[in-house]
Amino acid sequence: MTFNFLGPGLTVNVEAKVKEQIILDSSDLIYKNYEARLVLALSGLVMAFIGQVVVGTNGGVSAAVDAFVKQLVNGGLVPTIVTVMGFGYVMTFTKCSDHLVNLLVKPLARVPVIVIPGAVIITWLLNIVLPSAAGIAAAVGVLLIPALIALKVRPVMAAAAVFIGTWGSVVSPGLMFNPQIADIAFKAKEIPAPDAMIVIMQEALPCAIGALVAAICLTIICIVLKEGVGSTEIVKELPDGEEIQKNFKVNPIKAIIPIIPLALLVLASKQVGVLPTKAFSVPVCMLIGTAIGLIVALFSKQKIGEASKKFCRGAGDGFCDVVILIAAAAMFASGMKAIGLTGALVDAMKGSQSVAMFAAAAGPFVMAAISGSGNAAALAFNQAITPNAADFGLTIVQLGAVAQIAAGLGRSMSPVAGGVIILAGIAGVNPMEVVKRTAIPAIVALIVVTLLMFAMS
């Protein structure tokens, strides 16, 4: 298409390749670990400017800025993310998360036959409660890896068993995507309320099956490579500080506290209905958990003022690291719309569920596997494409869920992800050797989960 905007006789051809190049350059910068928030925001502004000046889109730049600001004050999204992050910081400060991890991990050492699949499933479940991939890798890895090595499991397989479980957060109310998908689906009148638990309940079964499939795949690889229990005579000594964890005495009360908000949310979900759904929202449940955490700090002779500061710090980090990233992705999506790229992508995928599902799964998965984080790709996809899910014969929850699940699984086979670097350090192995073992389970799990989400009606 030709536009005369520089004066008589001067024309500028705006080709699809130019539009696509902006997206490719943005992806390349994110891959090279440039600040994702800055890349998404600036790319969005550039596209919005081109859309306004060249294409003639009404309100290109102002619409992009408005999209950014709306996410900063999003009443359904912001309270959820900041309270979840604050609660997590309080659980770490009071050591309640340590008690939960020890409670679940220690029994594994007593049943050697199930150590590999058990390690995967336990990590996956704990990642729902503690939705930080790197955080759960550190918390579980420091316990499980020495325990597995003591059972003569090869160190690289011990690290792989933990790493492939670090995508459990995809069904956590604290993950940024679930509130985002719920908000988009609610605005489209697909669901009755912007409740992340509605999204999670639809994802839960496919993801649980995917986790089981990943655990089975890794177990088969372990058997084929002969890296399981009793496969080596070399027993790695525990580093300084890990002996304390080995002799850790679990306090059952402290161990239960981190799962209280999750239990309340499940009981208040419409599928269970034991508690009133509107009264027990995600922020309310997280604040209840935080209040209990403050009481624990008081009884543990910790400074309750310091515990409250941890909540504030977590809430602030949640706004900085998560909310602003979502806002930047909204600006990026607005820019794509301004230059007509969103419309072109939607038209290309219209009438084809398989194409839409493949795009949702492949894009974030590949980006996460390459860069160690698929968050930016999944957020941008969900802002730009997911609202148009009905055009592909899909629901917003289906399409959005597949994109964010793909990002989580892709990260679990990335050699540059923070989690694998932590685990490889604990095990004393090369991160690349770890992901060689997690790649097949991650890919198979992605296919299984995508097909299951696709089959949902």
What tens digit of pLDDT does each residue of 326-338 get?
Answer: 788 888 888 888 8
pLDDT at position 20: 66
Structure tokens at 2: 């030709």
pLDDT digits (tens, 9 = 90+) for 199-224: 999 999 999 999 999 999 999 999 99
pLDDT at position 288: 94
Encoded amino acid at 64, one letter: A
The percent of residues in the chain predicted with pLDDT above 90, rounded, is 30
Radius of gyration of the chain from Cα atoms?
23
pLDDT digits (tens, 9 = 90+) for 114-143: 889 999 999 999 888 877 787 788 778 877
How would residue 250 be classed by pLDDT, with cut points 50, 70 and 90? confident
**8 A C-beta contact, residue 35 and residue 325:** no
How would residue 6 be classed by pLDDT, with cut points 50, 70 and 90? very low
How would residue 9 be classed by pLDDT, with cut points 50, 70 and 90? very low
How would residue 98 be classed by pLDDT, with cut points 50, 70 and 90? confident
Q: What share of the chain is helix, strand, coil (3-state, %, to 5)?
A: 75, 0, 25
Q: Which helix (H) or strand (E) holds 154?
A: none
pLDDT at position 157: 95
**8 A C-beta contact, residue 422 and residue 137:** yes
Structure tokens at 248: 């850790």
Q: Which of 404, 429, 446 is nearest to 200 (CA)?
A: 404
- The set of long-range contacts for 144-148, using a CB threshold of 8 Å and a minimum separation of 24, is 144/105, 144/108, 144/119, 145/423, 145/426, 145/427, 146/236, 146/238, 146/242, 146/246, 146/426, 147/105, 147/106, 147/108, 147/109, 148/115, 148/119
**DSSP H helical segments within 132-236, as ranges?**
133-150, 155-163, 177-187, 196-225
Structure tokens at 437: 């073992």
Q: What is the mean pLDDT of residues 299-317?
A: 92
Q: Return the residue matching tokens 């918390």.
A: 139
pLDDT at position 181: 92
Longest dimension (CA), the chain: 82
How would residue 245 be classed by pLDDT, with cut points 50, 70 and 90? low
User: Does the pLDDT of residue 271 top 80, yes or no?
Assistant: no
Burial of 24 (0-12, 13-18, 19+ CB in 10 A): exposed
pLDDT digits (tens, 9 = 90+) for 325-374: 878 888 888 888 888 876 776 666 665 667 777 888 888 888 788 767 76
pLDDT digits (tens, 9 = 90+) for 25-43: 776 776 676 787 898 899 8
Q: Which of 319, 316, 296 is nearest to 97 (CA)?
A: 296
Would the CA dihedral through 440, 442, 448, 454 be positive or negative?
negative
CA separation for the pair 158, 146 (Å, rounded): 8
How would residue 15 be classed by pLDDT, with cut points 50, 70 and 90? very low
Residue 173: DSSP 8-state: T
Q: Return the residue matching tokens 């655990």.
A: 215
How would residue 16 be classed by pLDDT, with cut points 50, 70 and 90? low
pLDDT at position 3: 42
Structure tokens at 414: 């990335």
pLDDT digits (tens, 9 = 90+) for 39-91: 889 988 988 888 888 877 777 899 999 989 998 988 877 888 888 888 888 98
Any idea which of 6-10, 314-318, 373-377, 412-416 has the lowest mean pLDDT?
Answer: 6-10
**8 A C-beta contact, residue 85 and residue 315:** yes
Pairwise pLDDT comparison (155 vs 278), residue with the higher score: 155
Q: Which of 282, 271, 284, 310 is nearest to 90 (CA)?
A: 310
How would residue 234 be classed by pLDDT, with cut points 50, 70 and 90? low
Pairwise pLDDT comparison (341 vs 397), residue with the higher score: 397
Please name every residue paired with 3 in a beta bridge, in sequence order, or none if there are none.
Answer: 12
Question: What are the phi and psi torsion angles at 421 (to 5°)?
Answer: -65, -40
pLDDT at position 349: 61
* Highest mean pLDDT of the ranges 6-10, 273-277, 293-297, 390-394: 293-297
Q: What is the mean pLDDT of residues 282-306?
A: 91
Tally of CB atoms within 10 A around 31: 17
Distances (CA, A) of 340 to 12, 14, 167, 182, 203: 16, 11, 34, 25, 31
pLDDT at position 451: 92
User: Does the pLDDT of residue 105 top 90, yes or no?
Assistant: no
User: Mean pLDDT score of the chain, rounded to an integer?
Assistant: 82
